[in-house]
């Protein structure tokens, strides 16, 4: 069995110190659990704001990722450090850093599918990544996905075919505040359906960690962080609460399911 923690909180926009201290507090509150993997949201230290494109981190993640690496060591856990805006030469990337139990960098992934719709400007401000990434951690092979990637099934199929047993998706999945109640319901239902679909179509555990609450004046992050299993069952569900959700998962059960249904052998 392995213990997975997904953290969902209302970020304080453009206040890195406050957001990092909140993460440290949440980890302390969950320190009595078996923590093999902790997943933080996309833009976990800044929320969604214009300033994140200028207050960037270097290619090693800088002080922001260093803070998270100390937490990984303290709590003896692997941490998916959501995403930060990484500056490499003259290019900016939306980058996820993976830290092992020793606080060492196990790898990173630059978001491939950038969001440029409904007022989003990621595709204009950032450079897209160009390769899918699966990381070998001490307890599992973990595939990496970020937010809008969730709408691209072939991205996740490639991760599963590369041996991912768990796929993580730090997110800032948000809708414009001007949406009607009917459209908001449909938007949230789409997100929840995609969580379950990505898990069961690839026979993996699928873990999302989403921001929650108002960020930009016109954006609302929907929360609904989830941990879903290869059968499509929702093991943990944060809904629209400021909370963290936890699940014990069986990697052996996942292996057995993949023997029964060799779905990932299909292109």
pLDDT in tens, 43-86: 999 999 888 888 899 999 999 999 999 999 999 999 999 999 99
Structural domains of the chain ordered from first start: 2-265 (3.60.110.10)
H or E segment at 246? Answer: strand 243-249
What digits encode the pLDDT tens for the residues 31-48?
999 999 999 999 999 999
Maximum pairwise Cα distance, the chain: 49
pLDDT band at 15 (very low <50, low <70, confident <90, very high): very high
With tokens 């929320």, the residue in question is: 47
Assess whether pLDDT exceeds 60 at residue 204. yes
User: Where does residue 167 rank: exposed (0-12), middle (13-18), buried (19+ CB within 10 A)?
Assistant: buried
Mean pLDDT in the chain? 93
Residues near 12 by Cβ (< 8 Å), separated by ≥ 6?
A: 18, 19, 22, 47
β-pairing, 243-249 with 37-39? Answer: unpaired
Instruction: Quote the pTM value.
Output: 0.96
């Amino acid at each position: 069995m392995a213990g997975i923690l997904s953290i969902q909180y209302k970020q304080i926009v453009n206040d890195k110190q406050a957001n990092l201290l909140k993460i440290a507090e949440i980890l302390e509150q969950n320190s009595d659990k078996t923590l093999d993997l902790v997943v933080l949201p996309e833009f976990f230290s800044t929320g969604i704001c214009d300033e994140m494109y200028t207050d960037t981190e270097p290619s090693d993640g800088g002080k922001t990722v260093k803070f998270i690496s100390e937490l990984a060591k303290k709590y003896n856990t692997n941490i998916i450090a959501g995403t930060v805006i990484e500056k490499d030469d003259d290019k900016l990337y939306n980058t996820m850093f993976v830290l092992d139990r020793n606080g060492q960098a196990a790898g990173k992934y630059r978001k491939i599918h950038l969001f440029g719709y409904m007022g989003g400007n990621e595709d204009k401000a950032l450079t897209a990544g160009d390769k899918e990434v699966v990381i070998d951690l001490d307890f599992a092979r973990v595939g990496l996905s970020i937010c809008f990637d969730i709408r691209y099934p072939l991205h996740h199929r490639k991760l599963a075919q590369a041996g991912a047993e768990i796929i993580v998706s730090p997110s800032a999945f948000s809708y414009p505040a001007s949406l009607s109640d009917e459209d908001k319901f449909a938007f949230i239902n789409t997100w929840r359906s995609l969580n379950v679909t990505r898990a069961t179509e690839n026979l993996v555990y699928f873990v999302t960690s989403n921001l929650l609450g108002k960020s930009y004046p016109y954006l609302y992050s929907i929360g609904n962080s989830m941990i879903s299993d290869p059968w499509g069952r929702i093991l943990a569900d944060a809904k629209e609460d400021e909370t963290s959700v936890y699940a014990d998962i069986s990697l052996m059960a996942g292996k057995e399911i993949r023997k029964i249904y060799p779905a990932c052998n299909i292109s």
